[in-house]
């Protein structure tokens, strides 16, 4: 059974996505503004993830402000706006990621994926990271 409150949130998010698409892209190319990241050699889904991380950072700011002051407000965006934008970025990112997997030849490898014996699409473990060696993160 579906939760009607969750369904209402998804509808709000879809409506907001349509409105923002009119501002940032076009009916002919929904992904026009997201595609710009490809100009610097990154897949579109990575650019969408970066935009989601901006929303995550803003949510952290709301929480930190609430812990310190008991208030969450900022002038230009409400916490509800931030949640809805985050939901939309994750949905857009998922679509972009799925399309990237289909068109970029991303293969599913055996093993990985949480130890359940299932596959993973993390097929670039042997490639150099664009951020340098992973050893400095450990």
Based on the fold, state whether residues 56 and 20 are members of the same structural domain.
Answer: yes
Based on the fold, state whether residues 121 and 91 are members of the same structural domain.
Answer: no
Q: What is the pLDDT of residues 47-89, one digit of tens each?
A: 999 999 999 999 999 999 999 999 877 778 889 999 999 999 9
Token readout for 111 is 């093993």
Number of domains in the chain: 2
Q: Which residues constitute the domain of residue 126? A: 109-138
- Count of CB atoms situated within 10 Å of the CB of 117: 9
Q: Averaged over 106-113, what is the pLDDT? A: 54
What's the predicted TM-score (pTM) here? 0.75
Based on the fold, state whether residues 123 and 73 are members of the same structural domain.
Answer: no
Based on the fold, state whether residues 29 and 53 are members of the same structural domain.
Answer: yes
Q: What is the pLDDT of residues 12-56, one digit of tens each?
A: 999 999 888 888 887 788 898 898 999 999 999 999 999 999 999
Question: Strand pairing partners for 120?
Answer: 109
Rounded to whole angstroms, the Cα distance separating 10 from 4 reads 10
With a cut of 80, say whether residue 108 has pLDDT above it: no
Q: What is the pLDDT of residues 117-136, one digit of tens each?
A: 444 555 555 555 444 544 44
Q: Which residue has the higher pLDDT, 8 or 117?
A: 8
Based on the fold, state whether residues 102 and 114 are members of the same structural domain.
Answer: no
Based on the fold, state whether residues 84 and 36 are members of the same structural domain.
Answer: yes
Rounded to whole angstroms, the Cα distance separating 88 from 124 reads 27
- Count of CB atoms situated within 10 Å of the CB of 68: 8
Based on the fold, state whether residues 35 and 54 are members of the same structural domain.
Answer: yes
Based on the fold, state whether residues 32 and 83 are members of the same structural domain.
Answer: yes
Based on the fold, state whether residues 50 and 27 are members of the same structural domain.
Answer: yes
């Amino acid at each position: 059974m579906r939760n009607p409150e969750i369904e209402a949130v998804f509808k709000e998010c879809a409506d907001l996505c349509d409105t923002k698409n009119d501002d940032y892209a076009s009916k002919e190319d929904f992904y026009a503004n997201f595609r710009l990241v490809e100009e610097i050699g990154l897949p579109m889904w990575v650019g969408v993830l970066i935009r989601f991380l901006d929303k995550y950072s803003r949510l952290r700011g709301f929480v930190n402000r609430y812990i310190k002051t008991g208030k969450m407000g900022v002038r230009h965006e409400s916490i509800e706006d931030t949640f809805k934008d985050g939901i939309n970025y994750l949905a857009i990112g998922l679509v972009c990621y799925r399309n990237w997997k289909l068109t970029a030849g991303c293969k599913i490898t055996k093993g990985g994926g949480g130890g359940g014996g299932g596959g993973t699409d993390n097929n670039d473990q042997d490639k150099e990271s664009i951020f340098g060696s992973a050893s400095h993160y450990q």
